[in-house]
Chain A
Amino acid sequence: MIEQKVRDSYKVTIGIECHVQLNTKTKLFSGSINDSTTNTVNHQTNHIDFGLPGALPFVNREAITLAIRAGYALNTEAQVFSKFDRKHYFYPDLPMGYQITQFEYPILKGGYVEIISDGQIKRIEITRAHLEADAGKSTHPAGANYSLVDLNRAGAPLLEIVSEPQMHTSAEAKEYCFNLYLAMKFAKVSDVNLFYGNMRFDVNVSVSKTDDLGTRTETKNLNSFRAVEKSIDYEVIRQIEILEKGGQIRQETRGWNDAKQVSFTQRIKENADDYRYMPDPDIPPIIITKDELLSNKKTMPVSAQLWRNKLISLGLELETTNLLLLAEADYDSSPLSLIDQAIDETDKAKTYANWIMNIELPLLERSEEAGENLIISSQTRQNVFEAAYSLKITGQINSTKLTELIGELLISKDKISDILQWAKDSGYLQNSNQDELAVIVKSVIQKNPKVVNDILLGETKAVGFLVGQIMKETKGQANPQIVNQLISQEINLLK
C-alpha cells in the first residue's frame, strides 16, 4: 500500500478522448441505418460498409450538422473548412483496410467543458474534435479457432472529442465525462446510451513529482463514468508503485476489467504506429457556410452548462443539480423551465426543484417500472405547482397532505378543472376552524382520561397520542398548530 503522503507527492495529469456516436439516421458514408441497438448481425450493411471493390463513401450531411451543433455545446464553432483522411491498418473489422477520419483538418477546434471541482467552476479545454467512421465489432469466442465480425457498427458516425490534459483527480475526470455527456445529451446530437457504447472513453494518465509530465498510459474503451473514475484510481496507484520501486512507466494501451476492477496491458507502443495518413481522394473537403452555422446556432436548445449554473445559483446541492439536469434531458416537458420561470423567487424555485426531485421524478420512475408510461405535460406541472405553492404559503395544507395532493394532481390533473375546489372537496385542506376543532378536542379528552392523567403527571409525550386521535377523527385535516393550542388550553383548565 502507498502511504497517503507519498500518494500526495505526485501530481496526476489526465486527458480524455471520448468517442460520441452521433444519432444520425444513416451511417457517416453510406445509406445503411445507424442503430446501435440492433441484434441481427451484419444486417445494417451495404456495399460501402462492406468495403466492396468500387464502393465509394459519400458524406452524410446530417452528421456534419450534428457536429456543428456538438460544437456549440462545447462552446466552439465548427471550422468552415475540414477534410477527411485515410488511416491505414489491417484488421478484420476494418473492411477497407483504412479508417476514414479527420487528421489534418478536424471539424472542431477549441472549446471547453465546464465542471465543478471543489465547489468551483473549472474549464476543461477541448483540443479538437473530429468526425470518423466507426469500425465493426470483433468477437473472439472462447476456445474457438476463429473470430467473428459484425459490421453493423462499421461506418457509424463518431465524433472523437479530445480534451487537453487538464484534469488532476479521478473525480474531475468523472465530472468531465458526466458534463460532456450532459452537453451532448442536451444538444441532442447523440443518444448517449452508454450501454450500447454511444459514448466510449479513452483515459490518458500520467503521474509526476515535477512539473514535467510523466510517461502516460492509455486505458481504452471505458463505457461508464464509474469505470473512468475507478480505472484512473487504479492506474495512479499502479504507476506510483512502479516509480516508488525505482521502475519506469511503459507507454502502453491498457484495457479495463470492470468485473475485477483491474486494468491489464493490451498493446505496448514501442514505436509510433505508422498509419500512413493520406487525404481521402474520394471525399471533397467539407465546406460549412456561415448561414449553416448561424441557423444551427439559432436553434440550439439551452445548454446543460447554462442550466447547471442557474441551479447552482439557487444554492442547490451538486447532486440534486445533476439529477435535475438528467431529468431535463430525459423529459420533453422540460421540468427545468418551470424552475427558470420562478428563478427570481428563490423559495418558490427551490420548492419547485424539491417537488420535481421528490414527487414528480419518483412518480415517473414508478410509472415507467410498471410500464404505464405516464406523461406529465409542462402545462400540468405548472398548474399543479402554482396551485400547490399558493396553498403551501397560505398554510392551508400540511406538508404530508401537500405531497399527496401534488402526486395525485400530477396523475389526474387533466380530469380536474378547479384545483382548489377539488382539494377542498377531497379533504386535502386543513381544518383551522377553532370552534369545530374545539368540540373534537373536548370529546377526545373526555374519552381518554388515563392519557390526560399521564399528561397532568408530567408525561408531555402523551400529548402526541391525543393529537393522533384528533387527526383520526378529522381524517388528517385538522391544523396541527391549532389542535396543539386547543389541547394545552383544555389541559390547563384541568390543572
Chain B
Amino acid sequence: MSNWPSIDVLVKQVKSGQVSAKDLVDKAFSFIDKNRHFNVLISELKEQAYARATEIDNKIKNGQDVGRLAGIPFIAKDNFLTFDGYTTAGSNMLRNFKAPYQATSITRLLDEGAILVGKANLDAFAHGASTENSDFMITKNPFNETRVAGGSSGGSAAAVALDMAPFSLGSDTGGSIRTPASFCNVVGIKPSYGLVSRSGVVAMASSLDVIGPLTNNVSDGALILDVMSGPDQLDSTMIEKDKDGYGNFEPLKDLKGVKIGVLNDLMNEGLNDKIKIRTQEVIDSLKKLGAEIVDISIPSIDLSLAVYYIVCPAEVSSNLSRYDGIRYGHHDDSAVDLEDYYLKSRSEGFGAEAKRRIMIGTYVLSSGYYDAYYKKAQQVRTKLINEFKQAFSAVDFLVSPVSPDLPFKIGEKTDDPLKMYLSDVMTVAANLTGIPAISLPVGMIDDLPVGFQIMAPFKADRQLLQVSEIVERQFK
C-alpha cells in the first residue's frame, strides 16, 4: 500500500489547511532521500518545489483559487521539457540542455497547482524496455534491487512505487508506460493517440508517442489525464477529450453486459507460465463480476512487433536528425570541418541503442528499400487497425498480459537487443493502432509485481478507466 492517500483526498486536505503544500513536499523529499540508491531521479528540484509550495500555501491563506491539484508533488520523466532544471532525455546529447519552453502537459498540471519535485530516469531518448539504456544510471526495481524497473519510463514508475510522489508522468511509444508500471506495481495509463499534447516532450516516434500518468490507483490516473488532455494548438494530431472528462466516472457495481475479449494470440509462445496463470485468474474474476468472456483472434498481431521495429526506427531516425550540435546539445568543437563536426557530435552524443535505431530507420527509409520496408509496414499497420476495429465490433474491451516476463535481472538482456525488443510484444499493438490501454497491478509472483493489460477502442478512454477501476478493486 502506498504511503500517499488518493490525490483527491490530498487536495481536499491542502485546500482545507489540514496539511500544507510544504508538508507534501517534505514528504516527497523524505522518500526521495531514503531511496536515492534506486537511481530513480536524474534531477531533484528541491529549491523550486519549496518555492512553489510556499506560493500555493500563501494563496490558500489569502483565499485564492489554487487549482484541482493544489500542492500535489509529481515527477516527470526527463524527456518532458520543463522550465525548472535540465531536460536530458537520459542522454549525453542533452546532458546540459535547459529548456527555453515547457511541455504543454507540464504547464497544465502546474496551472492546477501541482508541484514538480524531480525529473525521472529513462532509457536515453526513451529507447528501451528496462531503463538500462540511460546514459546516466540504471534504475533498480523497487521490489528487488537486482532487477530492472522496466522501461523506458522506469524512473517514473519506480518513483511512484517508492512514494517519491503520488503521481508521475511517462511517455509510451511501444509500452514505455505500461511495462515499467507492471514491473513496479503501479497503474500506468497509455491514452488514445492524440489525447494529451506531445508538444514539449522529446519526440521518439511521432505517430506512436503518447503521454500518460503513472499512479497508485486508477482514479488518480483518471484525474491527471483529465487535467492534461484536450486540444493544444501546438500539437496538430490531437483529438477532443470525452465530453464528460475522465476524472468523475461512477464506479461500476459489476460487469454485467460487458463483453471482454481475450487476445489468445498473445497468450501462448514466450509467455511466462506463472503470468499466464495469473492472467487467467484475473479473467476469471471478470467473469465472476458478470462479464462475458470471448476469445478473440487478431490475425496480424504476430506481425505487430515487426511492424513496430520498422515504423519506430524510421521515425526515430528522422526525429533525431535535429541533434546536430549546431544550436544546442552535445557538440565537439575539435572538429576540422562541417562533416567532422556532425560525425563527432552525433557519435559522442548518442548511445548504442540510438545509433542502432538511426541505422535501421535510415535503411528502411532509403530509396529502393522504402517500399519493401516502411511502406509495407504502414500497410500492415492499417490492416492491424482494421482488425482491431473489427474485434471491437464484437467486444467492448480486450485483455492480455502486459509483459511476457516478470522484471528481469539487470544485464540479463542487454547483450541481445532482439530479446529486449521482444519485451514489447504485448504492448506495441496499442501504439500502432492508437487505442487506449492500461496496465493494472494484479498482485505478486515470486515477490515480483505483475500487471494486467486492458485495451479499449480508440477514444474510449473513459470507459477503459471505468472498467479498470472495478478490476483494480478486486486486487486491493
Contact = CB atoms under 8 A, between A and B. Distances in A.
Partners in one complex: yes
B235 interface: yes
Contact of A278 (B237, B322, B374): B374
Given A90-B342, A272-B367, A57 B236 contact: yes
B317 to A, nearest CB: 8
Contacts of A314: none
Interface string B356-387: 00000010011100100010000000000000
B367 A86 contact: no
Given A92-B326, A274-B367, A278-B365, A55 B94 contact: no
A455 interface: no
B200 A54 contact: yes
B236 A282 contact: yes
Contacts of A98: 318, 321
Contacts of B199: 54-56
Interface string A83-103: 000101010100111100000
Interface string A268-296: 00001010111001111000000000000
A88 B235 contact: no
A271 to B, nearest CB: 10
Contacts of A194: none
B475 interface: no
B463 interface: no
B324 to A, nearest CB: 6
A53 B236 contact: no
Given A50-B327, A54-B103, A86 B318 contact: yes
Given A53-B202, A54-B103, A97 B324 contact: yes
B314 A284 contact: no
A52 B202 CA distance: 9
Contacts of B99: 52-53
A54 B201 contact: yes
A276 B365 contact: yes
Interface in A450-479: none
B236 A283 contact: yes
Q: Looking at B317, B367, B374, which has the most chain A CB atoms within 10 Å of its CB? A: B367
B87 interface: yes
Contacts of B200: 54-55
Contacts of A277: 365, 370
B63 interface: no
Contacts of A50: 327
Given A58-B233, A284-B236, A47 B101 contact: yes
Contact of A54 (B202, B237, B327, B367): B202
B89 interface: yes
Interface string A42-55: 00001100111111
B206 interface: yes
A327 interface: no
Contacts of B81: 52-54
A16 B328 CA distance: 37
Contacts of A363: none
Q: Looking at A53, A54, A96, A98, which has the most chain B CB atoms within 10 Å of its CB? A: A53
A59 interface: yes
B203 interface: yes
A284 to B, nearest CB: 6
A52 B315 CA distance: 16
A50 B237 CA distance: 21
A278 B318 contact: yes
Contact of B324 (A46, A47, A90): A90
A387 interface: no
A149 interface: yes
Given A51-B327, A53-B322, A58 B94 contact: no
Given A53-B94, A96-B321, A276-B365, A281 B207 contact: yes
B9 interface: no
B87 A53 contact: yes
B206 A52 contact: no
Contacts of A53: 79, 81, 87, 89, 94, 97, 99, 202-203, 322-323
Nearest to A97: B321
A281 B370 CA distance: 16
Given A53-B203, A54-B81, A54-B103, A282 B237 contact: yes
A326 B292 CA distance: 75
Contacts of A282: 206, 235-237
Q: How large is the interface on A (under 10, 10 to 19, 20 to 34, 35 or more residues)?
A: 20 to 34
A282 to B, nearest CB: 5
B441 to A, nearest CB: 30
Interface in B208-241: 233-237
A88 to B, nearest CB: 6
Contacts of A59: 236
B418 interface: no
Nearest to A50: B327
Q: Looking at B94, B97, B314, B326, which has the most chain A CB atoms within 10 Å of its CB? A: B326
A158 to B, nearest CB: 19
Interface in B65-97: 79, 81, 87, 89, 94, 97
Given A86-B318, A284-B236, A56 B97 contact: no
Contacts of B87: 53
Given A51-B322, A98-B321, A56 B236 contact: yes
A215 B192 CA distance: 52
Contacts of A47: 100-101
B338 interface: yes
Contacts of A54: 79, 81, 103, 198-203
A249 to B, nearest CB: 24
Contacts of B342: 90
Given A278-B314, A278-B374, A282-B206, A56 B234 contact: yes
Interface string B421-461: 00000000000000000000000000000000000000000
A90 B314 CA distance: 16
A88 B374 CA distance: 15
B206 A88 contact: no
Interface string B337-353: 01000100000000000
Given A86-B318, A96-B322, A276-B366, A281 B236 contact: no
Interface in A41-83: 46-47, 50-59
Nearest to B338: A92
A96 B318 CA distance: 9
Nearest to A58: B236
Contacts of A56: 198-199, 203, 206, 234-237
A281 B434 CA distance: 13
A284 B318 contact: no
Contact of A281 (B315, B322, B323, B366): B315
Nearest to B89: A53
Nearest to A276: B365
A50 B318 CA distance: 16
Contacts of A95: 322, 326-327
Given A56-B199, A278-B365, A284-B236, A149 B101 contact: no
Contact of B321 (A46, A57, A90, A274): A90
B104 to A, nearest CB: 10
Given A50-B327, A276-B362, A58 B322 contact: no
A56 B103 CA distance: 11
Contact of B234 (A51, A58, A92, A281): A58
Q: Please give me the 6 A-B residue pairs with the lowest Cβ-Cβ distance, nearest first.
A: A97-B321, A281-B207, A281-B206, A276-B365, A51-B322, A53-B202
Interface of B: 79, 81, 87, 89, 94, 97, 99-101, 103, 198-203, 205-207, 233-237, 314-315, 317-318, 320-324, 326-328, 338, 342, 362, 365-367, 370, 374
22 contacts: A52-B101, A53-B89, A53-B202, A53-B203, A53-B322, A53-B323, A54-B198, A56-B236, A56-B237, A58-B236, A88-B318, A92-B326, A97-B320, A98-B318, A274-B367, A276-B362, A276-B365, A276-B370, A277-B365, A277-B370, A281-B205, A281-B315
Interface of A: 46-47, 50-59, 86, 88, 90, 92, 95-98, 149, 272, 274, 276-278, 281-284
